Structure 1
Amino acid sequence: MTSPRGWFIACILCLAVQTAQAQDRVTYLPDGAAKPITAIGDVVDFTGAELQLKGANSIQRIPAARVQQIETQYQPEHLQGRSLLEQGDTSAAITTLRKALEKEPRAWVDREILSLIVKADLRQQDLSGALRDFQSIITTDPESRAWGIAPLIWSPQVVSDSVRKDMQSWLEGNRRAEQLLAASILLLDPAQGEAAERRLMALTRDTHPILSAYSKAQLWRLDLTNRQVSDVSLERWRDLIERLPQELRPGPQYLLSRGHEVRGELQASAEEALWLPYVYAENELLAARALLDAGESLNRSGFTAESQTLYRELVARYPWSRDAALAKSRITGTQ
């Protein structure tokens, strides 16, 4: 039988172990420093604006852009779901990640899990699910670091009537982030396109830097549709992209590549497109599409061998994508 003193010591040791396990390690670059440092504590929250780290006596606020790495403990289902997604088992990944979401008590980790689910939704061409899950992210973090994988329309995409109907209510609502998502989806809609364009024009003046920049970039799609892309346009587009954080560049970068394509500048189009799979690869759908487009541009320019290499890479890296099926047909010569 354990003595009262032994029970007390055991409890203290157990508490110490739990406390040690709960400690997070955050590596970040302090303002004006040449090398990063690591701080230890409990991450209270991590948004697109800042990370809050609770220490022994206070809460330290670290700008999100300066955070380089977080070491923390994750639910087993979180790790398993991420692994399943990497292996290409998308359905199982979604099921496992939703279980992790039920167990995870930390809001900032919930958003990380949701960002993985959004990627999985998009893999399955579930635009409605992606919009719903992304909405859950931006409800608590409007400046989310996940905007780079948001279900916005950058490349050609089929939109169901039910999604269009849902987006009409979002467009008319008062939540600006939802307005951007809705305007993106409805921009080329025959019935709602003009209202969507007006909403994007208004959002270009928004004080929220992501909403403003992405609204400007979404309007580029009209220039592409009208095939009116000037040298000044391309210079302005490139300037906006260079001012964006890297994780937010995939969509605008893709449109830049299409700008060169409509001008008949095929090699330049391929060069700009290849930034996505090799540098801005977090947005998988766009990275896959960019590989296909780059292959097409190079093939039309007479670089057949190079285009075949890109088609094979697309099939190998993104076998689940619609673009992989098109790439296979290009490799086999059936189209």
Structure 2
Amino acid sequence: MLSAVIFGIAITLSAAKADEVTVRTGPNTVRRVTGEIVEYNAEVLMVQRTGRKESFEPITIESFVTTWPASYTEGRKKMASSQWQEAIVDLREAVADESRLWAQRQIIADTVRCYAALGEYQKAAATFKVIYRNTPITRHLSVLPIQWWVDNSNAAELETLKSWLRDIPPLKLAAASRLLTSPLRREAQQSLQDLVLDTNPRIAILATCQLWRDEVVQATPETVARWEEKLQRLSPDLRTGPAYVVAATLARQGDWQDAAELFLRCPILFGNQHELAAQSLLAAAGSLEKLDRHRQAATLYREIITRFPKSKCASQSQQLLSNLDPS
């Protein structure tokens, strides 16, 4: 059991009952399937029904309802209020309370999110490896601390990140993303170029999109159009980071309105990616300031301070807000 190691969801507290999966069958049609979810990874969601199993592509899954341990429910509540350390305690208990492997992986993925939100990246990485060892075709790549913005404050982590470059592909990807604007830029670029050829297509596409960051300054409108087309073909859970790069490029080109709108989609659609959501709101506020929409920018700065109080973005927002309104 995974509990022996480091340790759309709907949460149900009633007695165990059949799982229900809502599958998109057309532009305006869905199908509801009941049974027991026996596997859920990046390639398949499998439901055991009476006398047979049915498999569905994850991209067609609208939502699912299952019965979770009460400890997981408590952990999720604490995550919703940014009580990351307290949530980790509940999530550890939930892994022990849960017997389904796919569900254990989901709980462990939330634990990774908590560590990433706390800035404890080594623990996030070690915990993610538990998921990867169980199934390399994990659907939880989005919880990794992958960096999509310019941040030169990773110097203290250089040795750790260098070791990740020699680790499993997902950690190699995370390390390269955080080293791309560091003195180890060349090593990061080479690692990303290697990962573009990875046999896992989800890792390969994220590595490809990471390399877009090198093109932001020289990108033409045609380049942006090509990237936007690629965005639409990405799995929704992988779209946020690449969308941030596109928005940053639009901002670089002076298209502040489109940049602000795209930056804002990231935290609205994918607010569970804590660090990226905060960065996206901060960048959106900056774009709004360029449009002289200072009141709206101030609203976003306050939202960052409220939602992400311990983040670097919150400190920056406090300073920017005081510049807008000295009182």
Q: Give me the TM-score of the superposition, normalised by structure 2.
A: 0.85
Deviation of the 1:33 alpha carbon = 9.2
Task: Give the alignment's Cα RMSD to 1 decimal.
Answer: 2.5
Q: Which deviates more, 135-144 or 305-314?
A: 135-144
C-alpha separation in 2, matches of 1:315 and 1:52: 41
Which residue of structure 2 lines up, in the alignment, with residue 262 of structure 1? 252
The residue aligned with 1:185 is 178
SS in 1 for 2:93: helix
Which stretch of the first structure deviates more once superposed, 51-60 or 242-251?
A: 51-60
Of 126, 138, 144 in structure 1, the residue corresponding to residue 120 of structure 2 is: 126
1:159 pairs with one of 151, 154, 168: 154
Deviation per CA, 1:256-303: give whole Å up to 9, x if none: 111122233333322221111222323222111111111122213322
Q: What's the counterpart of residue 295 of structure 2?
A: 305
Q: Is the 8 A contact 1:101 1:110 kept in 2?
A: yes
The unaligned stretches of length 5 or more in structure 2 are: 1-13
1:323 aligns to 2:318 (yes or no)? no
Q: Which stretches of structure 1, 4 residues or longer, exceed 4 Å deviation after superposition?
A: 30-34
How big is the shift at 1:78?
0.7
Q: Is the 8 A contact 1:246 1:280 kept in 2?
A: no
Deviates more, 1:238-247 or 1:277-286: 277-286
- Counterpart residue number, 1:83: 77
Structure 1 residue matching 2:29: 3-state secondary structure: coil
Residue 29 of structure 1 aligns to a residue whose secondary structure is strand
Aligned to 2:7: none
1:273-292 matches, cutoff 5 A: 273-292=263-282
Distance 1:53 1:257, change over 3 A: same
Does the CA-based 8 Å contact 2:23-2:63 persist in structure 1?
no
Equivalent-residue separation in structure 1 for 2:191 and 2:320 (angstroms): 39
Q: Tell me, what secondary structure is at the counterpart of 2:33?
A: strand
8 Å contact kept, 2:154–2:182: no
The answer to which of 257-266 and 234-243 deviates more is 257-266
Contact 1:41 1:55 in 2 (8 A): yes
Residues 243-265 of structure 1 deviation map (CA, whole Å, 9 limit, x = unaligned): 11222111011111111222333
Give the alignment of 1:1-335 within 5 angstroms: 21-29=15-23, 35-157=29-151, 158-159=153-154, 161=156, 163-173=157-167, 175-190=168-183, 192-224=184-216, 227-333=217-323
Q: How many residues are matched?
A: 311
Displacement after TM superposition at 1:216 (Å): 0.9
Where structure 1 has 5 or more consecutive residues not aligned to the other structure, the ranges are 1-19
Separation in 2, partners of 1:232, 1:200: 23
Tell me if structure 1 keeps the 8 A contact 2:22–2:30.
yes
Whether the 8 Å CA contact 1:88–1:320 is kept in 2: the answer is no
**Partner of residue 10, structure 1:** none
Going from structure 1 to structure 2, the CA distance change for 1:156 and 1:95 (only over 3 Å counts) comes to farther
The aligned amino acid for 1:302 is D
- Tell me the distance in 1 between the aligned counterparts of 2:292 and 2:114: 36
Change (3 A) 1:62 1:258: same
Deviation of 1:160 after TM superposition, in Å, equals 5.5
Shift of the alpha carbon at 1:207?
A: 4.0
Give TM-score scaled by structure 1 length.
Answer: 0.83
Residues in 1 aligned to 2:123 and 2:164: alpha-carbon distance in whole angstroms: 15
Higher relative contact order (CA 8 A, sep 6+): 2
Contact 1:111 1:137 in 2 (8 A): yes
Q: Which has the higher helix share?
A: 1
Indicate the structure (1 or 2) with the bigger Cα radius of gyration.
1
Change in Cα spacing, 1:91 to 1:177, as seen in structure 2 (3 Å) is closer
Separation in 1, partners of 2:164, 2:80: 32
Range moving further from structure 2, 211-220 or 303-312: 303-312
Does the 8 A contact of 2:209 with 2:242 survive in 1?
Answer: yes
The one-letter code of the counterpart of 1:159 is: N
Moved more, 24-33 or 83-92: 24-33
Provide, for residues 5-51 of structure 1, a one-character-per-residue CA deviation record: whole Å limited to 9, x for no partner. Answer: xxxxxxxxxxxxxxx95443232337569633333322212111111
